[in-house]
Amino acid sequence: MTGLDTNVLVRYLVKDDQKQGDRAASFIRTKINSGESCYLNHIVLCELVWVLESAYRYKKHEIVNVLEKLLITKQFEIEDRDIVRHALNEYKTGNGDMADYLIGWLNRSKGCNPTATFDADLRTCENFQIL
């Protein structure tokens, strides 16, 4: 298994820089063809969402679509795939950021419930307690 940094994943997905996009695609294809998977950790996923929102102006439904595709692609090993899926489901309809929902689910998986926050956008999420 080979870990991917956010910049490689972004170039692979967005292909805004043809040369780097081709290099990223070739690298990922080579790993997959050799039987390896590419590992995406929580930080990479959160950075990906941030980059797609801020730099590329993706709408929420477009980001959800990207993350859903990553989650079902067997060549990508997602850290705590089920937790990411739960967080994504809340992100789809909630007012919080993907990172917030991931924090809530990760903390819940470690026995924390709820997670204390000042973020009022999370008031309807059972994983959080607004202070």
**pLDDT tens per residue across span 67-120:** 999 999 999 999 999 999 999 999 999 999 999 999 999 999 999 989 999 999
Indicate the fold that domain 2-130 takes in CATH: Rossmann fold (3.40.50)
CA–CA dist 26, 20 (Å, integer) = 10
Secondary structure E strands in the chain: 2-3, 38-40, 76-78, 115-117, 128-130
**Residue 113: predicted pLDDT:** 84
d(CA 120, CA 56): 26
Distance from C-alpha of 42 to C-alpha of 60, rounded to nearest angstrom: 18
- Distance separating alpha carbons of residues 13 and 97, to the nearest angstrom: 21
